[in-house]
Structure 1
Amino acid sequence: MKSKKTFRGLSGFDLKCLAMILMVLDHIHYFFDFTGRIPLLFSQLGRLSGWLFLFCTVEGFAHASNRRRYVLRCYGIAAGMGLIQYAIQFFGWTRADGFFPANNIFATFLPCFLLWQRLDELKKKRWLIGIGLLTLP
């Protein structure tokens, strides 16, 4: 008798790969929309990647053995992306129409880390630290 396999869902790695594929579609539309040949569906599907990356970030933060190192690693990536964006503007590496990329999802997630840590401190009934983190942003 054949055993029936059950679907257990997608792993974190699977979700990240799916999010990267969708992100590439979004970026193709973002960078080449001016040609008029890239379907809007690329962008619509690509916008799902942000939610998938947010979910993976929440999971990573919740299960990190060292949250400080996790946040610093994400901060380093955000800073690197910011430096690249600054270099593009500073050196004038823009298209003839003045377009330049302004994407940095890691910088968007950085305030979320404060919120999640604040909620965790309040859950542990560490009121002073939790309220202190509330005032930081």
Structure 2
Amino acid sequence: MKLIKQGMTTFDIKILGIILMVIDHVHQMFFTVVPTWVDYFGRPVALLFFFTSVVGFSHTHSKKMYMLRLYIGIIIMAIGSQIMTMLFPSAIGVELINNIFRDLFLGTILMSAVDAFGVFKDNKRVSQFFKGLFLLLLPILLSVPILLIGSLPSNVSTIVAQVTMIFVPSMAIAENSLMIYLIPLLYVARNSRM
């Protein structure tokens, strides 16, 4: 009864998201034997993680360290996915590229843009306006290297693509692409219960 009164913590929400994500990924990896409707369990996961990221970014003592930990998460998960793909190659060419840390990291860049716009609004520092604008566009700008890889010779583009997917937090390869722009909207509304 106390759990119902207290509500869910961000830790509870993360655990729920992880469970739903695993169920969804089971279908992605075994789609020939697992029914399609299993995918529906995974649909709210990104929003759950977006919400907990906004809460974490809002309450952290060091936003730079928070961002660094997410970036390290991108690298570890990308390398792990490439190792898993090499160890367990799919007969039909399914490759693991899911990396929610990429979306969350890009979301912190967008939340930093909101912070810069807030400083501009309060102090009328024009440099903060341009910083906010740059940060708001940065996830799109980081997609340019991904788009240019296709113009490279195929033997080079494979290596460059693998390295880029590990180290460049591009919106072009983010799981939720343009949906990451929901993160700054959640951040703007973080103090409003509605």
TM-score interval (norm. to shorter): 0.7 to 0.9
1:24 aligns with 2:19: no
Please tell me the residue identity of whatever aligns with 2:133.
L
Specify which of 92, 97, 105 is matched with residue 110 of structure 1. Answer: 105
- The answer as to 2:89 corresponding to 1:94 is yes
- Find the aligned partners of 1:81 and 1:55 in 2 and give their Cα distance: 21
Distance 1:114 1:17 in 2: 24
Displacement of 1:122 in angstroms is: 1.4
The alpha carbon displacement at 1:133 in A equals 4.1
Partners of 1:121 and 1:15 in 2: CA distance: 29
- TM-score when normalising by structure 2: 0.60
Distance 1:130 1:64, change over 3 A: farther
Q: Which residue of 2 aligns with 1:43?
A: 39
26, 32, 35: which is aligned to 1:34?
32
Cα separation, partners in 2 of 1:130 and 1:111, compared to 1, 3 Å = farther
| Structure 2: distance between partners of 1:104 and 1:46 | 14
Alpha-carbon contact 2:117-2:132 (below 8 Å) kept: no
Q: RMSD value over aligned CA atoms?
A: 2.3
Q: Which residue of 2 aligns with 1:128?
A: 127
TM-score, structure 1 length as denominator?
0.83
Instruction: Measure the CA separation in 1 of the matches of 2:41 and 2:129.
Output: 37
Unaligned runs of 5+ in 1: none
CA shift digits 1:114-134 (9 cap, x unpaired): 111111121122441342242
Corresponding residue for residue 71 of structure 1 = 67
Distance 2:60 2:130 in 1: 23
SS in structure 1 of the partner of residue 5 of structure 2:
coil
C-alpha displacement of 1:92: 6.7
User: What is the percent sequence identity of the aligned residues?
Assistant: 30
Unaligned runs of 5+ in 2: 139-194
The letter of the residue matching 2:92 is D
**1:88: how far off?**
4.5
